[in-house]
Amino acid sequence: MRPALTILSDEEEIFRKTVREFAERELAPRAIKMDQQGHYDPDITSLLFDLGIMAIETPEALGGAGSSFFMSVLAVEEVSRVDAAVGVLVDVQNTLVGNAILRFAEDPLRARILERMASGVVAAYALSEAGSGSDAFALKTRAREDGDSYVLNGRKLWITNAAEAGVFLVMANVDPDAGYRGITSFLVERDMPGFSVGKKEDKLGIRASSTCELILEDVRVPKENVVGQVGRGYKIAIETLNEGRIGIGAQMIGIAQGALDDALAYTSERKQFGQVIGSFQGVQFSLAEMATELEAARLLVYNAARLKDAGQPFVMQAAMAKLKASEVAESVTSLAIELFGGAGYTKEYPVEKRFRDAKIGKIYEGTSNMQRQTIAKLLQA
């Protein structure tokens, strides 16, 4: 008998079930092929928009679901349970870009962009550069004021969703002498002259997800496309990444849940010494450990999301959630491979893909050591 998942409201449980059924029906048959080919099936994004999970917090008047951040977390978890590459597509759209536009953009930019993001336009979040990873504010992309526009020059690296995106939230510095206080957020649209998407990275995991370089060469961005106040982009970056880390935590628990489900199914069927291997105490102990660690991580992720929706402080809890969930995803997927034995080391079963997909959780949107640093600073404040 499977243990019940963490308690959800009726509405949340119905939503979870809907997304899970969609993922199993539409994503599961495509996941391995997309991983092998290194790109999404062309139908995937339209299916996600049709389901309504690409604009979960966007108000209904702008074409969205008008729902909560917690619902975004549930969607990311359930999609990632089947394919974490699609999970991060949903995550960036909702917890990073959608969240930032909803909170910081002024009308009519907010209305125009959120309507597009609800009706078929994928978005990307562009902060990282070659010389600014964990030190995010060491970015070199510049924005020069010129009449009613800003002219942007620079390069961005490791940008998720870049190949599919039609709009990009780009961080650039309008006043390098002011340091991070010159950083400003711009909404760059794909068809703006001088803007291009560079090479796609060939990655270990989440291979279908595009991770590309962005090239900005004298890209003229109208002033109405500034998100928030000039020189306050650092605030937008910090606050949206704090929220985004909860989304990555959801992606990681989704991966771990998928691996646990695989392991439970396999160990109930695979026989050795005349009995299913799930009847051996050593295997049972491994399954129990996997389930316990996963539930602990899920509670951290859900708690951080609930705090965010309640308007309560959540930064430390978000860091804890991402830290723990990424560790659990790695350990649970590794154990799942071991329970499969030699079969788990092949591409015949999905557990090896889950193992590869899990590794990124300790790296992007703030490394594990950066999360530890955040937790420690807040504890000592």
* Cβ-based neighbour number of residue 366 at 10 Å: 23
Residue-wise over 36-73: b if at least 16 C-beta within 10 A, else e? eeebbbeebbebbbebbbbbbbbbeebbbbebbbbbbb
Of 215, 214, 217, 154, nearest to 184 (Cα)?
Answer: 154
CA distance 306 to 70: 6
Query: What are the E-state strand segments in the chain?
Result: 122-126, 142-146, 149-160, 165-173, 183-189, 195-200, 211-222, 226-227, 271-272, 275-276
* DSSP, residue by residue, 235-277: HHHHHHHHHHHHHHHHHHHHHHHHHHHHHHHHHTT-EETTEEG
Question: Within 10 A of 322 (CB to CB), how many other CB atoms are there?
Answer: 34
Radius of gyration over every alpha carbon of the chain, rounded to an integer in angstroms = 21
Coil vs helix vs strand at 137: helix
Nearest-angstrom CA–CA distance, 321 and 249? 6
Pair 141, 171: CB distance under 8 Å? yes
Concatenating the DSSP letter of every residue in 298-358 gives: HHHHHHHHHHHHTT---HHHHHHHHHHHHHHHHHHHHHHHHHHGGGGGSTTSTHHHHHHHH
Residues belonging to the active site: 365
